[in-house]
Amino acid sequence: MAAEADGALKRLLVPILLPEKCYDQLFVQWDLLHVPCLKILLSKGLGLGIVAGSLLVKLPQVFKILGAKSAEGLSLQSVMLELVALTGTMVYSITNNFPFSSWGEALFLMLQTITICFLVMHYRGQTVKGAEDLPKSRLHGSWVLSDLGKPDDVELLQAATNYHNGHTGQLSAITVFLLFGGSLARIFTSIQETGDPLMAGTFVVSSLCNGLIAAQLLFYWNAKPPHKQKKAQ
C-alpha cells in the first residue's frame, strides 16, 4: 500500500510540479527543507494556479459590463493595447521555449480581453467596426516582441482615463485586484522558471501600474459617473 501511494504521489508531482531528483530529495530522503527544490515546487504551484485562475479572472469585468449595458469608464485604447501585449507575450514565450506554467494565463486572458474589447465597442455603437478591427489587432502582435507590448502603457492609459473621468465607471474591482495579485506572483515565477530579466522586469512594471489602478478604485470607490441628460427635442 505504501509503495502504491508513493507511486501515485510521484505520478501526480513529476514532472508537472517537480523534477524527479527533487521528488527524491523531498519525499524519498525526506529533506523537506531543501530550498532549491522548495522554490521549484512553489514556483510551479503558483504558476499553474495563476494559469487556472486566469480562466475566470476577467469574467467579473465581462458580467459587470453586460449587467450595466455600458462600458463607461473603460479605456478602449488600453483594452486594445492589452490585447496586442498579451499576443506578444505568448509569441515571445513560445519562441524562447518557456514552460507553459510561466505564461499560460496570457492565452486565456487574451480570449477574455477580446470579449471585453468587443463589448466596449458594442456599447459605443461600433459593433461592426469592432468585429472588423479585432482580428487586425491580433495580427499586429509581432509589433510588441521587442518589449512585450509595454504593459506600463496599457495600465497607464486606463489610469489616465480614471483620473480624467474622476471615477472608475464599470471597471471591475475583482478583476483589478486579481490582476494585481497575479502580476506580483509572476515576478517570482518569471525569475524562477525563465531566468529572463525582460519577463521579470515586465511584471515588476505591470505590478506597479496595476497597483496604481487598484489604488484609484479605492480612492474613487464612492464616486459615480454623472447622469447624462437627454437633449431637449
- Cell numbers found for residue 176: 483589478
The pLDDT assigned to 139 comes to 47
The pLDDT assigned to 11 comes to 83
- φ and ψ at 227, to 5 degrees? -70, 135
For 161-200, letters b (16+ CB in 10 Å) and e give bbeebebbbbbbeebbbbbbbbbbbbbbbbbbbbebeebb
Given the C-alpha cell 506580483, which residue does it identify? 184
The pLDDT assigned to 144 comes to 43
DSSP 26: I
DSSP 57: T
The pLDDT assigned to 3 comes to 65
Given the C-alpha cell 447622469, which residue does it identify? 227
Q: Which domains does the chain have, with CATH numbers?
A: 152-223 (1.20.1280)
The pLDDT assigned to 137 comes to 52
Whether residue 204 contacts residue 187, with contact meaning beta carbons closer than 8 Å, is answered with yes
The pLDDT assigned to 131 comes to 59
Question: One digit per residue, pLDDT tens: the chain, 233 residues?
Answer: 566 666 777 888 888 889 999 999 999 899 989 999 999 999 999 999 999 999 999 999 999 999 999 999 998 888 888 888 888 889 899 999 999 999 999 999 999 999 999 999 999 887 766 555 555 554 444 444 444 445 566 778 889 999 999 999 999 999 999 999 999 999 999 999 999 998 999 899 999 999 999 999 999 999 887 765 444 44
> Closest Cα to residue 28, out of 14, 16, 40?
14
pTM of the model: 0.81
